[in-house]
């Protein structure tokens, strides 16, 4: 690499003199199409229900979800990630595989509303639908049964694809989930449906507000299947497995606390890499801004830019539509 020079001849500040100059030499840029809006749709409500820990985020009705999808298209957002909040739950998450379950109905609603103008992603996991709140079915000892859960994921994949989802977000962190979902899709002629693998998903403290948003029934924790925050090499093993099983895209979750992991994943793969700016990250910024401790808009932009700079091609963020409008 050529050396820039030494002071006094070398003055990097020359390239910071004006907003126009800083824009010209910016190394990292956000684009609306990089952003994915997570959205919650709740069964049996007639008006949106605010999520107290996430100011500005709501549990949508079917009608307001359609309106939010239109707004996202108009702002240039790249995709919508949908999560269902059912009225009833059971031990095996039956609503998650019911063709008339809230998520499948919502997928059909949004696809009918915006067609292919927006990529429609759906969360492929059981935690919203189980009365115990875990991401899979339990065995006789109350442990998550990996292989029995995979059978349920295959069913979920088929009904979500039938509803019209373009991308399935395999988020449950079961071993072998990507391969099982791929075979389930291919077996019903849905080779066109993509898989976004939640490849690196840590057992994080940053998920609390999300669990409020989906009405989680979780008892205990998910440390036996989500990853240990202390580990990086383990993430590389997960990446190799997901790619071998047919993942079209991979994700790191959460975002900001794991920028080192994100950078490593981005350097090791040639498929699109996503990062999820999770509910706890959102809530912290909104709370600090509400107290006047930080500049809200600058902080949002800075956090998203840092995630993009670390290597994310795609960013799931609850600010997606707002930020896209500004861009």
Give residue 8's pLDDT. Answer: 79
List of E strands, the chain: 35-42, 49-50, 58-60, 79-85, 119-124, 167-170, 194-201, 249-253, 273-276, 314-316
pLDDT-based confidence at residue 7 (cuts at 50, 70, 90): confident
The alpha carbons of the chain give a radius of gyration, in whole angstroms, of 20
Q: Does residue 102 register a pLDDT over 70?
A: yes
221: left (phi over 0), alpha (psi -120 to 50) or beta: beta
Can you tell me the mean pLDDT for 283-291? 98
Give residue 2's pLDDT. Answer: 62
Give residue 86's pLDDT. Answer: 96
- Show Cβ contacts of residue 83 under 8 Å, excluding neighbours closer than 6 positions: 38, 39, 40, 41, 103, 123, 128, 213, 214
Q: Does residue 32 register a pLDDT over 80?
A: yes
Percent of the chain with pLDDT strictly greater than 70: 99
Quote the mean pLDDT of the chain: 96
Catalytic residue among 112, 219, 253, 264: 253
Catalytic residue among 89, 201, 219, 264: 201
Q: Does residue 4 register a pLDDT over 70?
A: no
Give residue 1's pLDDT. Answer: 59
Q: pLDDT tens across 117-137, in order? A: 999 999 999 999 999 999 999
203: left (phi over 0), alpha (psi -120 to 50) or beta: beta
> Which domains are assigned to the chain?
29-326 (3.20.20.70)
Q: In the annotation, is 253 catalytic? A: yes
Q: What is the pTM of this model?
A: 0.95
pLDDT-based confidence at residue 243 (cuts at 50, 70, 90): very high
Q: Say if residues 321 and 77 touch (Cβ distance below 8 Å).
A: yes
3 state SS of 85: strand
Two structure tokens written together for 323: 């930020």
């Amino acid at each position: 690499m050529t050396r820039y020079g030494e002071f006094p001849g070398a003055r990097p500040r020359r390239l910071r003199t004006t907003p126009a100059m800083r824009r010209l030499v910016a190394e990292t840029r956000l684009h609306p199409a990089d952003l994915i809006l997570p959205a919650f749709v709740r069964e049996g409500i007639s008006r949106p229900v605010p999520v107290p820990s996430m100011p500005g985020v709501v549990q949508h009705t079917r009608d307001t979800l359609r309106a939010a999808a239109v707004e996202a298209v108009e702002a240039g957002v790249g995709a919508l990630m949908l999560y269902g909040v059912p009225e009833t739950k059971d031990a095996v998450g039956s609503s998650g595989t019911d063709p008339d379950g809230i998520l499948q109905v919502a997928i059909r609603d949004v696809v009918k509303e915006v067609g292919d103008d927006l990529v429609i992603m759906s969360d492929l996991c059981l935690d919203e639908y189980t009365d115990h709140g875990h991401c899979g079915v339990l065995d006789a000892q109350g442990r998550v049964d990996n292989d029995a859960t995979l059978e349920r994921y295959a069913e979920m994949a088929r009904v979500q694809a039938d509803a019209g989802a373009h991308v399935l977000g395999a988020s449950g962190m079961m071993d072998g989930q990507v391969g099982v979902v791929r075979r389930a899709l291919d077996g019903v002629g849905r080779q066109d449906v993509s898989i976004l693998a939640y490849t690196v998903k840590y057992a994080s403290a940053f998920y609390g507000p999300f669990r409020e948003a989906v009405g989680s029934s979780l008892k205990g924790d998910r440390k036996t299947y989500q990853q240990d925050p202390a580990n990086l090499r383990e993430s590389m093993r997960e990446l190799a497995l997901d790619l071998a099983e047919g993942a079209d895209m991979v994700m790191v979750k959460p975002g900001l606390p794991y920028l080192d992991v994100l950078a490593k994943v981005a350097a090791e793969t040639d498929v699109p890499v996503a990062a999820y700016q999770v509910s706890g990250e959102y809530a912290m910024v909104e709370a600090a801004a509400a107290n006047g401790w930080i500049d809200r808009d600058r902080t949002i932009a800075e956090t998203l830019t840092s995630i993009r700079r670390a290597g994310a091609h795609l960013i799931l963020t609850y600010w997606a539509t707002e930020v896209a409008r500004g861009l």
